[in-house]
Amino acid sequence: MSDTTQSAPGPLSRLLASDIFYRFRRDPVAIVSATIVLLFVLAAALAPLIAPQNPYDLTQLDIMDSEVPPFWQEQGDPRFLLGSDHQGRDMLSTILYGTGLSLIIGVFAVLLQAFLGVSIGLIAGYNGGRIDAFFMRLADIQLSLSTLMIAIIALAVFQAAFGSELYQDLAIIMLILVIGIAEWPQYARTVRASVLAERSKEYVDAARVIGLPRSRIMIRHILPNTLSPVLVISTVQVAEAIIAEASLSFLGLGMPVTQPSLGSLIRSGFEYIFSGSWWITIIPSIVLVVLILALNLLGDWLRDALNPRLYSRR
Amino acid sequence: MALLEIEDLEVEFPNRHGTLTALRGINFTLDESERLGIVGESGAGKSMAAFAILNLISEPGRISKGRIVFEGRDLAKLDEEEIRAIRGDRISMIFQDPMMTLNPVLTVGVQMIETLKAHRDISDEDARKLALARLREVQIPSPEARLDAYPHELSGGLRQRVVIAIALLSDPAIIIADEPTTALDVTIQAEVLALLLALCRDHATALILITHDLAVVSQITERIIVMYAGSIVEAGATRQIIDTPQHPYTIGLIAALPEQNAPGQPLNQIRGSMPSLNNIPPGCAFAPRCDYATDICHRIVPNLTTAHGQSVACHHAGQLQPQESVRDTERAVS
Amino acid sequence: MSDTSTPLVEVRDVHKRFPLPSSFLSSARPKVHALNGVSITVQRGEAFCLVGESGCGKTTLGRTVIGLEKPTRGEVHYGGQRVDTLDDTARKPIRQHMQMIFQNPYASLNPRMTVQQILEEPLRFHCPELNATDISETVNEVMTSVGNDPAWGQRYPHEFSGGQRQRISIARALMVSPEFIVADEPISALDVSIQAQVLNVLMDAQAQRGLTYLFITHDLSVVEHFGTRVAVMYLGTVCELTKTKDLFATPRHPYTQLLLSAIPRMDGQAFKHQPIPGEVPSPVNLPSGCVFHGRCPHANDRCRTEVPLLNSTKSTAQVACHAVEEGRI
């Protein structure tokens, strides 16, 4: 079933021949959402090449161009396809760069979550007993506090302690750390559950009979067999992390206005929404919603596709 | 006239590689109060043949050809509503896992009464009485108490007895039992089999027993069908098949049993393994594993032909040496 | 270790209890009594069989011998050396001599490793001095000896049938040239026509490599064909231990007699089976006295109070039964 991680002979040909790819090709929702996510990633990665303007370069900005509406409106200006904000920044460029920032924070925060969660889940699940009980109670405590609450407290304390100047420089790293650390229990629980299922299988006994050390059994034998559910929650977790980042930025605790992510863009435009400049807020919001929706649909599809029992019913 | 008549049944499963034919050319009949065994390895299609009778084939599989005539009606043509009226009433099923039949959150009594009321107009009180009588019949100790027990409070052997009691509730014409004792220990298996045999005799119920265990069918059934890779390879009276098997597969299967071999000696074995259904060789499906296969076997699918009451699907039927000498030559070769 | 007079494996009065998950509020700590004072010895070159119905402790005994479980009480000796108390480092040289074959060929091979990786792993771990050529030669040799195509190396377990997988599993056990193999129901998950193939591979390996087997099964016909000596287990105790031939010719313990009468036979005779009422009691609350007394037609007051010991009778057979000892049966 999950031929995707196998190497020989030729990973690409194996992937193309796999059941997963076959199911992917037959599911229009999967194809559309994967295409959208891919387009976002490409656009963000190529932003310096395709964006009409570098929104970080203050010298390119002209305050006279501020609050130009999108091109299809009467006072539109073809230089600013999606209009401009109150500082005269081109919205299209800002959104392209902002999407990139949002994706970077989302992906790296999830990598951190996965690293912490998978390690803890593996150790807790394989060893059991007190170690397991300790980490799982810790996870329960962490889950009883919402991610946003932890993040708000941590970021506010940091801002107060080190001043907003330093904060602006370190905002990306801080967001990745805070969102990454706050969400590890999701991974730890998922991995622990599959470790418990795998641990009782005979191939693990066989490795123990050979005499392999614990660490090797965990990493070489059990870990690779617990990765499918990790893959599934990862897509959804990226979406969650992007939302968390956007919410924090909207509250003024995230990316600074000089380096706007999608969330800080929505926030910065929010003040002007009643003065008629709706596009500064609405357009980045739509981008955010589409991106999150595509990621979630992709995650849903992946969960169904990797669950053979569900598939057989269709 | 036979109670159940299956004519040229074919079951297909469409999949990404095309269409997979899971059963082909299945023909058999079941007389009233006859006990029939369907034997084969996993994947041979023996369960599917039985499930097809009650239209229980899981999606996307479907009956693509053939007729299943029961009491004058073709079950293959009935809609879901009509077949459900027959299921559990005129034809009932016993599965390998009793929990396929038993609902874990309902007591045994509630489930038995429900089953009865689904098929006939009966008062709660009468239904309870009948349920109790059936539990007594399957020799469950203290049946009154068991009526109010939940399935998880019963042992595996008792659960299977309850399932048999449920199968018997409406005095069905046919009971289909799919590996009913495979999950049970050998002493419990013997008890459940003896019970099933006695009940079928007492009620004159016909039985289709699906199993991989030749010894079990030989003790319970009057007739045997041997299946291989979705087809019937041999059919006939039980003693005849066990004592003088004609198809090389049946011959090999019986010869491979440890009790048919001298202790400590290498066992007679059939080489290779059964082909998967999406990879059935042309000609006779058994040919690649068969010691007697000739050119024709690899090209043409043999038909089931009947001689002396024993049907065999083999181009060389009747020309093979009797079983004893087969074993000797095989031993000499190895 | 080369002393031939000491038994290869000796299990002395082994007990094993598994704690059940106790409820949060109750102070009771229920335990499953999986093994209750089991003693067996396995001689070099034997195929020693453990038979019994599910829950009789045969698998737990096998896992305790191989070191997957630690006995709650009692000792396990291998080649004259006590092994159940050794730590991982001290045990490593012994692990090379003992291997295990598992019941379920679909679960006993890691689905994410190629056949080559699965087979090489034990050898690389135990003999790090071997170079790549030596290792691949051993893989080829072992794969051929179990009737597998050595060219399967680059493929994954899911591409093979149950019988092929079980032969890969046997090959993995043979890679480190063990002298003792615990085989836990190695053929019961396989189809009838494949069982004979795998049993033949096991017998070949024994003949060629001088292996000693501890063979765990519920199938008495396999025992009759394969075993030299056999221990019949019931509820965590051995009730009869004797030569295979004697067991089938003259079963002495009432449970053995029940077991033998329950085997379905193809000889055309109707059931000889005399059903014995009742079922196997729960191993959580063991019955007092003889564990079989609740189902035994010969039980008397002594059986209900006093645990019978595995006594040597006149012949080589050992039977744990008061009735046999007193000559009542």
Q: A221 in contact with C at a CB cutoff of 8 Å?
A: yes
Q: Which residues of A touch B278 (CB under 8 A)?
A: none
Note down the domain range covering A152.
33-312
Window 159-198 of B: residues touching C by CB (8 A cutoff) are: 185-191, 193-194, 197
What is the predicted pLDDT for the residue at C270? 62
Tell me which chain A residues have a C-beta less than 8 angstroms from the C-beta of B58.
312
Q: What is the pLDDT of residues B247-256, one digit of tens each?
A: 999 999 999 9
- Cα→Cα distances B76→B54, B60, B230, C177, Å: 8, 16, 18, 57
The distance of C98 to chain A (nearest Cα, Å) reads 8
CB proximity A79 to C under 8 Å: no
Residue found under tokens 């299809």: A72
| Domain presence at residue A228 | yes
**Set of chain C residues whose Cβ sits within 8 Å of the Cβ of B268:** 196
Query: Which of residues 104 through 143 in chain C touch A, CB cutoff 8 A?
Result: 104, 107-114, 121-122, 125-126
Per the domain annotation, does A28 fall within a domain? no
- Say how far apart CA A86 and CA C245 lie, in whole Å: 97
Which residue spans within chain A are E strands per DSSP? Answer: none
For residue A216, give how far its alpha carbon lies from the nearest alpha carbon of chain C (Å): 11
Chain C, nearest residue to B139 by Cα: C277
Whether A198 maps to a domain, the answer reads: yes
Residue A258 counted as domain residue: yes
At residue C22, the pLDDT reads 63
Query: Are B213 and B41 within 8 A, CB to CB?
Result: no
Residues B273-304 pLDDT 10s? 888 888 888 999 999 999 999 999 999 999 99
CA A132 to chain centre: 28
B152 touches chain C (CB under 8 A): no
Q: How many residues does chain C have?
A: 329
Say if the Cβ atoms of C265 and B239 lie within 8 Å.
no
User: 3-class SS at B19?
Assistant: strand
Number of domains chain A is built from: 1
Q: What is d(CA C175, CA C164) in angstroms, rounded to the nearest whole number?
A: 16
Q: Do A314 and B58 touch (CB under 8 A)?
A: no
Which band of pLDDT confidence, cut at 50, 70 and 90, is reported for residue B330? very low
Q: Is residue A11 part of a domain?
A: no
Count of beta carbons in the 10 Å neighbourhood of residue C51? 25
- Mapped onto helix, strand or coil, the DSSP state of residue C327 is coil
Residues in chain B with CB shorter than 8 Å from the CB of C49 are: none
Q: CA torsion sign, A286 to A290 to A293 to A299?
A: negative
Restricting to C residues 46-65, those with a Cβ less than 8 Å away from any Cβ of A are: 63
Whether residue A314 has pLDDT greater than 50: no
A143-172 mean pLDDT: 84
CB spacing of C156 vs A201 below 8 angstroms:
no
CATH number of the domain where residue A138 is located: 1.10.3720.10
- State the complex-level ipTM: 0.88
Task: Enter the DSSP assignment of A220.
Answer: I
Q: Is A50 within the bounds of a domain? A: yes
Q: Do A313 and B16 touch (CB under 8 A)?
A: no
User: Residue B286's closest CA among B249, B322, B316?
Assistant: B249
Q: For each of chain C's 329 residues, which pLDDT tens digit applies?
A: 444 568 999 999 999 999 887 666 666 778 899 999 999 999 999 999 999 988 899 999 999 999 999 999 999 999 999 999 998 888 989 999 999 999 999 899 999 899 999 999 999 999 999 899 999 999 999 999 998 988 888 899 988 988 999 999 999 999 999 999 999 999 998 988 899 999 999 999 999 999 999 999 999 999 999 899 999 999 999 999 999 999 999 999 999 999 998 888 887 666 656 666 667 788 888 888 999 998 888 889 999 999 998 876 666 789 999 998 888 87
Those chains having 3 or more beta-carbon pairs within 8 angstroms of chain C are A, B
Residue A231 lies in a domain: yes
Cross-chain residue pair C107–A213, CB shorter than 8 Å: no
Label the pairing between strands C98-101 and C180-184: parallel
| Within-domain flag for A4 | no
